[in-house]
Amino acid sequence: MKQLFFFVLAIGLCLVGFQGMGQVSQGTHALGLGINWEDRDIVGERNNFVDNFKVSPSYSYFIKDRLSVIGEASFHNRNSGYAYPNANLNGLAYGFERKEADVSIGLRKYVGIQPKLFLMGTSGLKYHWNDMYSHQVSNGDESSSQQSTRQFGLFGNLGLAYFPHEKFSFELVFLDVQFFRIYNKIRTYHSVDTHQYHEWSFEVEGFLNQPSLAVRYYF
């Protein structure tokens, strides 16, 4: 799948022409939508499953040529887990369900590489929320826990925008940087225990193995 993605991307870049410009001028509005979906089952000595869905609508307005204010929201639902069918392992299994939501606002700058291809850089503020419920079975004992996380801080990312038409663009984000404050609360039902912790975090992530793709309409 990854090889196919990069092959299609390479074909698209080779077809970039010089006869049109992307719609990135002052006064332009744009609506964007990103969707990520993954459904995978692996059967073997350890059975694994992943069910992953994320949707991210956004709106932007160009306050200057090649400079826009952008607001985005996203919702992410992920189910994952594994189980050992081997009887010698006493039915060892683990699974979790995680729901996430993000709200962000920032500035996005477009730098022309070719008339239809732009490097885009975005920076701003982001609020993140997630709740995760996990369940584990080991040696006949069951335990479960719930973790709630809130994050607020700064973010920045780099990507590419390709305009096959002046009204549409395809976007690929390949690098993301975040610096934020974490508020965490964990409740373990097996031991009826609850604890909280706060911390600062700095993250740098690349997405070439699982890139974030979106389409945007300009008007």
- Higher-pLDDT residue of 104 and 91 is 104
pLDDT at 105 over 80: yes
The pLDDT value given to residue 67: 96
Q: What is the pLDDT of residue 207?
A: 67
Residue 191's pLDDT is: 56
Over the stretch 132-144, which tens digit does the pLDDT of each residue have?
Answer: 888 777 666 777 7
Q: Report pLDDT for 189.
A: 59
What is the model's pLDDT at position 19?
39
**Tell me: the pLDDT tens digits for 18-51?**
334 567 899 999 999 988 776 666 666 666 777 8
Token code pair at residue 206: 């690349």
Q: Which residue has the higher pLDDT, 95 or 177?
A: 177
- Cα dihedral: 20, 23, 26, 32 (round 10): -170
- Using CA atoms, how far residue 93 sits from 40, 99, 132, 159, in Å, is 17, 21, 17, 39
Q: Domains along the chain?
A: 2-218 (2.40.128.90)
Q: What pLDDT does 180 receive? A: 87
Residue 101 has pLDDT above 50, yes or no: yes
Of the two residues 219 and 7, the one the predictor is more confident about is 219
| pLDDT of 137 | 73
Q: What is the pLDDT of residue 17?
A: 38
Instruction: Return d(Cα 105, Cα 125) in angstroms, integer.
Output: 6
User: 106-131: per-residue pLDDT in tens?
Assistant: 999 999 999 899 999 999 999 999 88
* One-letter identity of residue 62: F
Tens of pLDDT, residue by residue over 51-87, are 888 899 999 999 999 999 999 999 988 887 766 666 4
* 181-219 pLDDT tens trace: 888 777 665 555 666 767 788 888 776 655 677 999 999
Q: What pLDDT score was predicted for residue 106?
A: 97
Instruction: Please state the pTM of the whole predicted model.
Output: 0.73
- What are 103's two structure tokens? 């709200």
